[in-house]
Structure 1
Amino acid sequence: MGAERAGDERETPARRRGQGELEAQVLSALGGASEPVTATWVLERLDGGLSYSTVITILTRLHAKQAVTRSGPGRPVLWQPVANEADLAALRMRRLLDKQSDRDAVLSSFVSVLSSHDEELLRSLLAESGPGDSAAPHAPADRPEG
């Protein structure tokens, strides 16, 4: 009763996925499809014992973020990617930045922790885009538009 059983190993709890990890996995699966696919198709390509409802939830969230499209109201609902994993990560980064009151400080801190390779790549990308080539420019609040 109080004795240990030989080979008594406790079941390890399931690893909690990082924020956006499931979305990235779903986008990756969708990216491998040659045409719009069902949620069941996506589920079959994901490992990790996910439920159908979890896949639907992730697809619905991706749809709200405009990262995937879905077919009309008919059945079955078909899904396809609009954005790839890199696009989705960039969108998340942009949304986080948009929530900050001191964008300059956030960007400065971000750049200060980049590797030299990433910093050089960022400089190159900024040089290629040219001045004023922002995807969604933000006018300073204290500057009148017009």
Structure 2
Amino acid sequence: MLDQASPTKADLERDVISMLASGDQPMTLEQVRERLGRTVMATTVMAVLNRLLEQGLARCEWVGRSCLYTAAPDRAELAAGRIRAVLDAGGDRRAVLTRFVAMLPPDAERVLIDLLRQGHPELADGR
């Protein structure tokens, strides 16, 4: 992937997450290491994978004694999932959404209104 002799941690993270995102199936640590196409110690690859897991950019599914790594959804999808989890946790959805919208800066509120109108054209006339 990279031609430099000594890639930085950021280079390795970028390469690994790109590899996981473009992969058609989960990969083991050793598969990730092999696909990097350079000599990188397994402990270094493990450290990179652990950082990606901590950042929520990768996922690990244990199969037997091996962890299979995949790219996690992007940050927007993760944030949307957290919002959905709060709404699904119970309570008064209308109150939560009302307070959420009230906290939005005007530009974000306009984006939300535009998105709702795109998905619900009947809102365009104020209904």
TM-score with structure 1 length normalisation? 0.45
Name the stretch that deviates more: 34-43 or 79-88. Answer: 34-43
Q: Given the superposition, is the C-alpha separation of residues 44 and 69 from structure 1 closer, same or farther in structure 2, using an over 3 Å criterion?
A: closer
User: CA shift at 1:130, angstroms?
Assistant: 2.0
- From the CA coordinates, give the structure whose radius of gyration is larger: 1
User: CA shift at 1:81, angstroms?
Assistant: 2.2
Query: Do the aligned partners of 2:28 and 2:66 also contact (CA within 8 Å) in 1?
Result: yes
Aligned to 1:7: none
Aligned to 1:105: 95
Letter in 2 for 1:32: S
Q: Given the superposition, is the C-alpha separation of residues 68 and 115 from structure 1 closer, same or farther in structure 2, using an over 3 Å criterion?
A: same
Q: What stretches of structure 1 of length at least 5 have no aligned partner?
A: 1-27, 48-54, 132-146
Query: Do the aligned partners of 2:27 and 2:69 also contact (CA within 8 Å) in 1?
Result: yes
Name the stretch that deviates more: 81-90 or 105-114. Answer: 81-90
**Cα offsets for 1:70-90 (capped at 9, x unmatched):** 47x366432112521111111
How high is the sequence identity, in percent, across the aligned residues? 33
**Cα offsets for 1:8-58 (capped at 9, x unmatched):** xxxxxxxxxxxxxxxxxxxx88643243444663632676xxxxxxx5xx5
**Counterpart secondary structure, 1:108:** helix
Q: How far apart are the structure 2 equivalents of 1:100 and 1:110? A: 15
User: CA shift at 1:112, angstroms?
Assistant: 0.7
Q: Structure 2 residue aligned with 1:44, among 42, 48, 57?
A: 48
User: CA shift at 1:127, angstroms?
Assistant: 1.1
TM-score with structure 2 length normalisation? 0.51
Q: Which runs of 4+ in 1 moved over 2 A?
A: 28-47, 67-71, 73-78
Name the stretch that deviates more: 111-120 or 97-106. Answer: 97-106
Q: How far apart are the structure 2 equivalents of 1:128 and 1:43? A: 43
Q: How many residues align?
A: 89
Letter in 2 for 1:128: Q
Cα root mean square deviation, aligned: 3.7
**Counterpart secondary structure, 1:123:** helix
Q: How far apart are the structure 1 equivalents of 2:15 and 2:80? A: 19
Q: Structure 2 residue aligned with 1:116, among 103, 106, 121?
A: 106
